Amino acid sequence: MNKISTYFKESYKELVEKVTWPTGEQLQQSTMIVLGATLVITAIVWVMDFAANSLLKFIYSFFS
């Protein structure tokens, strides 16, 4: 039981003293970067899906 107590005390101490938390501005900037990257990747996947769908419809039109 003593090991568990020590673990939680050391974990709390590490979070309070050793971890450097981002400022609000840094957090907002990182969020905007992630949002932008997500939108770009989503657009790329949508274009690839649309192109593959169009290509397969074109190929299937020869067989029907």
In a domain, residue 64? The reply is yes
With a CB cutoff of 8 Å and minimum separation 6, the contacts of 22 are 30
In a domain, residue 11? The reply is no
In a domain, residue 10? The reply is no
Cα-based torsion angle of the residue sequence 38, 41, 46, 51 in order, rounded to the nearest 10 degrees: 180
In a domain, residue 7? The reply is no
In a domain, residue 15? The reply is no
Q: What is the pLDDT of residues 2-59, one digit of tens each?
A: 899 999 999 999 999 998 989 999 999 999 999 999 999 999 999 999 999 999 999 9
Q: Provide the domain count of the chain.
A: 1
Domain that holds residue 31: 22-64
Answer whether 0.75 is exceeded by the pTM: no
AA identity, residue 20: T
* DSSP string computed for 6-62: HHHHHHHHIIIIIPPPPPHHHHHHHHHHHHHHHHHHHHHHHHHHHHHHHHHHHHHHT
Q: Output the six-digit token pair for 59.
A: 């190929």
In a domain, residue 6? The reply is no
